[in-house]
Structure 1
Amino acid sequence: MSNLSWDPIPPAAAALQQQHPQPFNTITATNFTTQLHAPPSPHTHRVLRKLQSAHNLGAAARNSSQSSLISQQILQESTPTPSLRGTLNRSPQRNRANSDAATPPTVPSVFPNNILMSLNNKRTALSRSLKAVDTMSLDRLVREGPPDGDVEAALESARLKVLDQGIRSDGDGMSRTRIYVWLIFLDAPILNTDEYLGLIHRGASPAYSKIRNDTFRTLTTDPLFRRRVSEASLIRLLNAIAWKLHDAKEERRPTSSRQSLVPADSVSSSRSDVSQADTSSSAAKNRARALTLTTEDSDATASEPGTYVQGMNVLAAPFLYAARSEVEAFSAFLTLLTKECPGYIRGAMDGVHRGLALVDKVLAIVDPRLSSYLTTKGLSAEIYAFPSVLTLCACTPPLPEVLRHWDFLFAYGPHLNILCIVAQLVLMRTELLTSINPNKLLRSFPALRAEQVKRTALAIIKMIPDDVYEQIVKHAL
């Protein structure tokens, strides 16, 4: 498991950058500086964490009908077993959840034996630590941090609390805790606010034109989102993300082939020229600043891999809705893109296409009849599931249910969204099988029901072969 710092959320950060409509480059806030922490552990540790979390998820699902998931987890870890069933013991030769069937042929482990032995030795200590954090509510656990500094036990307890109880929120899906739980699960670093402000003050990114073409249509039919999040806020966030991805891409290029960035004084000069073009109205000045540097060549630059892809606006929307500041939303969104699903925005979105292929594969395993019927109608996941894979189902209303769905995904891995899409198909199988034109039903998925989707996905996990599950874990990387 990767090292994770568990620092209390600074009070100043919560009040900074509230969701008020502001024109581009007009944010004013008190500078807030926090000690940055080391980035998460290397790629292999992230894969290990996902596999471990998924194993724990399957084990918890087996006992979901009993009184306490946390108590069952502790009981399970205290029972001797030849397989790796501890909280931190997840490997590709995963035993099937919800099943007492004989263990299938062992798949060679991708982890060295010394790592597996080390994980196995941690089970007893972690079980004792879970007893201490079990008595704390999720809100208190986030606010006060793990007792005795045991971050690993606190993380597993938090995951089980989300799985069993969910995150407390009102009818609109608003919660004072949710964004911090997401940041913890995503292992997002604490961000210096000045860094975000600096990205905004650089002006329009090379992807700015494409961003402006998408933001005005983001969740247009959702009154909750439109009431809380302004388009200006969404533009700022996406533009800052585009700058960050652009800079990372430039750093990977050879020095001789790097394109020079627009100097800051040039940006200021251009902004001044546009503002002076119409001095008759302050509103015109603000609009001019918002539209500064939307150049014709932005589209050509934005089409380069790893900068901005259509659909990122919908993926960013729940972060802005749940966060108490743009900085929090930026840190969580950037971490998701760069560490959890970089394949979704790289090249020709290869990660998304791998995910779509896995939707077809999993559906054929789980429900061969439904899979065959959709195939005869010429319906593959590439046709109907592309938005759901790319946006982690954020494209399917209502928004409060999307937030609850993301609670589950971030607790046990965004890769589980593949199983959740199949779960939605299973939930509507009767309508699909009796429809002469199922494509009409799949053009717009039924309203998301996060709890039912989660329970169905937990049942599906036991049916997935180990090699297919490993592909699901790694498809977005």
Structure 2
Amino acid sequence: ASPSRPRPSLPTPTLPPGGWSRRLLMNSHFSNEQDNDETFEQILYAPTNNPALPISHALEKLREEIVLKGIPATSQEEEYLLRVESKSTTRGKTWKILLGAHEITFQEYMDLVALGQSSSHSKIEDDAFRTFASDSEFCARVQQCKLVRVLNAVIHQAERKRSRDQVVVYVQGMNAICGIVLLELNEIDATALLLALLEKHCPLYLNSTLDSVYIGCMLVDQVLHIVDVDLFKFLSKFKLSGQIYCFPWLLSLGSCWSPHSEAVKLFDFLFAKGVHWIVMCSVARVVSLRADLFASDRPMKVFQKLPPYDATENICEAKLFWSKLSSQQQKVIEKHPYDACSAMEDWE
């Protein structure tokens, strides 16, 4: 059995009331080389430095820069400020910009926390108890009580805004996503970002039926058949479909791939390019295991013990495979996180 962390009490978060600003673009420190810092800063601060610049143009430029080069690595100073002063990192604040996350005030978050346990609390607590429990570095940076507070707050807020025919529940996978997000964002900003994912970017990934996750697994099969038919046939011989081996990958948007330093780079790309790209990144992940899979008489064991994840290599392969698809197939993948019903019907 995997090691578990002791269940802590859930104290009220010690967040400074004056520590939250509605401005997403704030002074930050980068650890990359100076020329890359200046380039990223110029693009990130473009709307502030040039008020006449259309926001849509600035956002598109920012997306292009991130897809091409990624986001500068979080410095030790930023990690310290997040841990001690609850200041979100530049990477985390950039994620919020990319997803169009609405600001939540300190008082609004405290009101959500004051509501206590949500309807999904028991599931949240059980999953938080296991989230990356064997990773001592993660456990030191993201306490279980933070995961529980944020996820309960997300469910409370989502339930407030739901329509009559909409059921809001916590689903497994949100805990892993939340864990990676809390490596870069304070609790308030993490709540805002998760709500943006839940409401706007992948609503059918994070609902009770997991419609888009199942469709995403089917799309992995379809794309794999196009880009590597021999590997597809090999896996089919062992009755290994995407739903069997990559369901948790899609459900967690790849946050289950270690190390976490690479998972955050994957989030950079997904939030800049679109979360639907988790399908292509999953296909690329499978193909990267090709030699090990063909050499094994029990290929499922290969999926159960993955080698360390390399985000740069994985994303590069995903882009290459994307170019092998027709425009119609690309459109199906693009819309599947929010339109699962018609996705497979439109596949050529």
TM-score by length of 1: 0.61
CA contact (8 A) 1:36 1:189 kept: no
Greater Cα shift, 441-450 or 351-360: 441-450
- CA–CA separation in structure 1 for the residues paired with 2:231 and 2:204: 29
Matched, 1:317 2:317: no
| CA distance 1:377–1:156, change in 2 (3 Å) | same
Counterpart amino acid of residue 27 in structure 1 = P
User: Any gaps of 5 or more consecutive residues in structure 2?
Assistant: 1-6, 25-35, 80-87, 339-348
Q: 2:261 aligns with which of 384, 388, 400?
A: 400
SS at match of 2:182: helix
Q: 1:200 aligns with which of 113, 123, 143?
A: 113
Greater Cα shift, 394-403 or 339-348: 339-348
After TM superposition, list the pairs within 5 Å mapping 1:91-106 onto structure 2: none
Q: 1:435 aligns with which of 281, 285, 296?
A: 296
Matched, 1:252 2:164: yes
Counterpart amino acid of residue 311 in structure 1 = G
After TM superposition, list the pairs within 5 Å mapping 1:282-431 onto structure 2: 305-323=167-185, 325-431=186-292
Give the aligned CA root-mean-square deviation in angstroms: 2.6
Counterpart amino acid of residue 468 in structure 1 = Q
| CA distance 1:197–1:36, change in 2 (3 Å) | farther
- CA–CA separation in structure 2 for the residues paired with 1:247 and 1:153: 33
- CA–CA separation in structure 2 for the residues paired with 1:382 and 1:135: 41
Q: After TM superposition, give the deviation of residue 153 of structure 1 in Å.
A: 2.4
CA contact (8 A) 1:141 1:154 kept: yes
CA contact (8 A) 1:397 1:448 kept: yes
Q: After TM superposition, give the deviation of residue 427 of structure 1 in Å.
A: 1.3
Q: After TM superposition, give the deviation of residue 170 of structure 1 in Å.
A: 5.0
Matched, 1:26 2:16: no
Q: 2:47 aligns with which of 139, 142, 145?
A: 145
TM-score by length of 2: 0.82
CA contact (8 A) 1:142 1:177 kept: no
Matched, 1:178 2:39: no
CA contact (8 A) 1:222 1:398 kept: no
Render the CA deviation track for 1:297-339: whole Å, top value 9, x for unaligned. xxxxxxx94311122111111111111x211111111101111
CA contact (8 A) 1:351 1:475 kept: yes
- CA–CA separation in structure 1 for the residues paired with 2:37 and 2:261: 27
| CA distance 1:422–1:35, change in 2 (3 Å) | closer
Q: 1:168 aligns with which of 65, 68, 72?
A: 72
CA contact (8 A) 1:344 1:390 kept: yes
CA contact (8 A) 1:315 1:394 kept: yes
CA contact (8 A) 1:314 1:395 kept: yes
Q: 1:228 aligns with which of 130, 134, 141?
A: 141
Matched, 1:450 2:330: no
The corresponding residue for 2:62 is: 158
- CA–CA separation in structure 2 for the residues paired with 1:171 and 1:444: 30
The corresponding residue for 1:189 is: 102
The corresponding residue for 2:341 is: none
| CA distance 1:193–1:377, change in 2 (3 Å) | same
SS at match of 2:130: coil
- CA–CA separation in structure 1 for the residues paired with 2:237 and 2:200: 37
Counterpart amino acid of residue 246 in structure 2 = A
- CA–CA separation in structure 1 for the residues paired with 2:22 and 2:296: 58
SS at match of 1:470: helix
Identity, in percent, stands at 32
SS at match of 2:208: coil
Render the CA deviation track for 1:34-61: whole Å, top value 9, x for unaligned. 7799xxxxxxxxxxxxxxxxxxxxxxxx
The corresponding residue for 2:153 is: 240
- CA–CA separation in structure 2 for the residues paired with 1:153 and 1:319: 26
Q: 1:475 aligns with which of 326, 332, 336?
A: 336
- CA–CA separation in structure 2 for the residues paired with 1:168 and 1:35: 22
Greater Rg over alpha carbons, structure: 1
Aligned pair count reads: 309
Render the CA deviation track for 1:8-55: whole Å, top value 9, x for unaligned. xxxxxxxxxxxxx99535234444587799xxxxxxxxxxxxxxxxxx
Counterpart amino acid of residue 151 in structure 1 = I
CA contact (8 A) 2:11 2:145 kept: no
Structure with more relative contact order (C-alpha pairs < 8 Å, separation 6 or more):
1
| CA distance 1:312–1:170, change in 2 (3 Å) | closer
CA contact (8 A) 1:306 1:346 kept: yes
